[in-house]
Structure 1
Amino acid sequence: MVKIAVFDSGLGSLSIIKPIQKKINAEIIYFADQKNYPYGTKTVSQLDKIIKSTIIQLQEKFEPDIIIIGSNTPSLLLDIEKKDKIIGVFPPLKEAVRRTKSGKIGILATKLVVENKILDRYIKKNVPKKIYVEKINATPLVDLVESGKFILQKQISKNIIKKIIIPYLENGIDVFTLSSTHLPFLVPILKELFPSITFLDPAEAVAEHISKILKHKSEKSRLKIYASGNIKTFQKQLKMIGIKNKVNQL
């Protein structure tokens, strides 16, 4: 059985599970590292310690074929692209460049990523100079998902989303990268509010990459969920978004 471990500081990276399951059958182990939520407010040195410790823990307990760091924040800041069998999640900037008609794109990411020069280098590497790029602090949107407000308080959530997105639409941005794995949960609301705007999910690229590097496959897909915080609270959060899998303590 192929094993893929995915982890994040909360429920956000569960958004990449379905795209992976569409591409490959595997046992997927999801770990919500709630004790360290949110990654987006940690320093780079704190993140480095947390990520290294978590990777070792997952390797020792589950022996996965691949580990996915399901968050743009540590993936970018710790240069995960260079890690063997450790896959990061990155803003899908090349696709954004292909899709924009106005020549202007927005990156919705956590405050820590937006303010770090590493994102500037990533943009320079993946985006031609002729394309205008706006870095946007989407931490309030991440919080809408993690707290469940996007389900429980839809109108308030819509108001917060509009407050963040509309100023950039007025500047001509027509493509946004959802550069946090929490944000795809907001896609139905985003499409309702802004039907003519493109919002790109980074999970598609991750799933495609995994399907290419995993040569052997399993007969069936299976998902096991673990958490480091209060598993009863996390179980309730998952039920709100329609996930009924049992949560185990790790």
Structure 2
Amino acid sequence: MHTPIGVFDSGIGGLSVLQALQKELPHEHFVYLADNAHAPYGEKSEAFVSQRTHAAAEYLLARHQIKALVVACNTATAAAIHELRLQHPSLPVVGLEPALKPALALSHTRRIGVIATRGTVSSEKFARLLASVKHEAQFEVQACNGLALAIEQCALPDQAVAAQAQIAQLVQTYTHAMGPFGSAPGEIDTLVLGCTHYVFVEQVLRQLLGPQVQLVSTGEPVARQTHRLLAAAELLNPEMTNEIAQPIRLLTTGDLQGLQAAAQRWLSLPPEVCHAVPASLTLG
């Protein structure tokens, strides 16, 4: 059986990154771990997020012998990616950061919006990233408290209707606070989705902001970087035509039905690929 690539997020948001990884690396196996019991991370302390990220990495290494780790969460990347790389120097580790640099290449008005969790926008890592590009455009940064949680709840059948209404309200409130969107001078023409969850509300954003505004996410660049690291380490699977083993497993520390619903809705995956694991992620 092929050694899988581990993908980790606080919840279902990282499924958007997994989708990009599957497209970029069709011959690889994946194990995805959603820490739904503690989601979302964006409004938790940095110490807590770091502790959970390390626990997830240890769990995936011990239980699934992963050959690489994709931290598919901007908040977890900001809190723990440096320590993870120091602790596991032989493990290829790929993190996320809001796509400010790709957005610069797309923007004509030089006004760029960034929506992300409070944990991401208040991190030192994001501050350094913003400082490196702020002279090239005007960035309007908005922390979106509650949005990732509403997207999590949207995957639960008994909460979906209420969650969708809340998503629409939150998106309208936060984008309105950032200023006018559009393609005219002085308007925000590019919006960076700085949380993997937000990819799943692209349709809501497009309806609200109009077709002139470009939405930028991180899934495809992360998938390409993962491909590059695996190739450099000679860890890519050979191209196989007769696969027998299940190429993907989805794990959750929280509600199994919620993960199953999200996997079916966004990745067209059957319920049997989803499994519950202890919320503590203990190995005993």
Same fold (TM over 0.5): yes
The sequence identity of aligned pairs, in percent, is: 21
Identify the residue that residue 65 of structure 1 maps to in structure 2: 67
CA deviations over 1:146-196 (Å, ceiling 9, x no partner): 110796354553333122113324262211111111011111222222221
Q: Offset of 1:121 from its aligned partner?
A: 1.2
CA deviations over 1:20-39 (Å, ceiling 9, x no partner): 11111211111111222121
Q: Distance in 2 between matches of 1:217 and 1:192?
A: 40
Paired residue secondary structure (1:39): coil
Q: 1:217 to 1:169 in 2, by over 3 A?
A: farther
Identify the residue that residue 4 of structure 1 maps to in structure 2: 5
- Unaligned runs of at least 5 residues, structure 2: 181-185, 278-284
- Unaligned runs of at least 5 residues, structure 1: none
Identify the residue that residue 21 of structure 1 maps to in structure 2: 22
Q: Distance in 1 between matches of 2:151 and 2:97?
A: 19
Paired residue secondary structure (2:192): strand
Q: Number of aligned pairs? A: 249
Q: 1:244 to 1:138 in 2, by over 3 A?
A: farther
Identify the residue that residue 178 of structure 2 maps to in structure 1: 168
Identify the residue that residue 213 of structure 2 maps to in structure 1: 197
Identify the residue that residue 178 of structure 1 maps to in structure 2: 193
Identify the residue that residue 139 of structure 1 maps to in structure 2: 145
Identify the residue that residue 249 of structure 1 maps to in structure 2: 276
Letter in 2 for 1:140: G
After the TM superposition, which residues 58-137 of structure 1 pair with which residues of structure 2 at under 5 Å, given as runs? 58-80=60-82, 83=85, 84=89, 85-125=92-132, 127-137=133-143
RMSD: 2.4
Q: Distance in 2 between matches of 1:130 and 1:239?
A: 41
Q: Distance in 1 between matches of 2:166 and 2:255?
A: 26
Paired residue secondary structure (1:40): coil
Letter in 2 for 1:197: V
Q: Offset of 1:204 from its aligned partner?
A: 1.0
Letter in 2 for 1:26: E
Identify the residue that residue 280 of structure 2 maps to in structure 1: none
CA deviations over 1:129-153 (Å, ceiling 9, x no partner): 1311122112332123111079635
Say which is worse superposed, 146-155 or 8-17, in terms of deviation.
Answer: 146-155
Q: Offset of 1:79 from its aligned partner?
A: 4.2
Q: 1:236 to 1:208 in 2, by over 3 A?
A: closer
Q: Distance in 2 between matches of 1:162 and 1:240?
A: 24
Normalising by structure 2, what TM-score? Answer: 0.79
1:158 aligns with 2:168: yes
Q: Offset of 1:237 from its aligned partner?
A: 4.6
Higher Cα Rg, which structure? 2
Q: Distance in 2 between matches of 1:232 and 1:141?
A: 20
Q: Offset of 1:128 from its aligned partner?
A: 4.6
Letter in 1 for 2:237: K
Letter in 2 for 1:87: V
Normalising by structure 1, what TM-score? Answer: 0.89
Q: Distance in 2 between matches of 1:169 and 1:2?
A: 47
Identify the residue that residue 33 of structure 2 maps to in structure 1: 31
Q: Offset of 1:104 from its aligned partner?
A: 1.4
Q: Distance in 1 between matches of 2:206 and 2:276?
A: 35
Letter in 1 for 2:98: P
1:226 aligns with 2:246: no
Pick from 237, 241, 263 the counterpart of residue 217 of structure 1: 237
Letter in 1 for 2:203: P
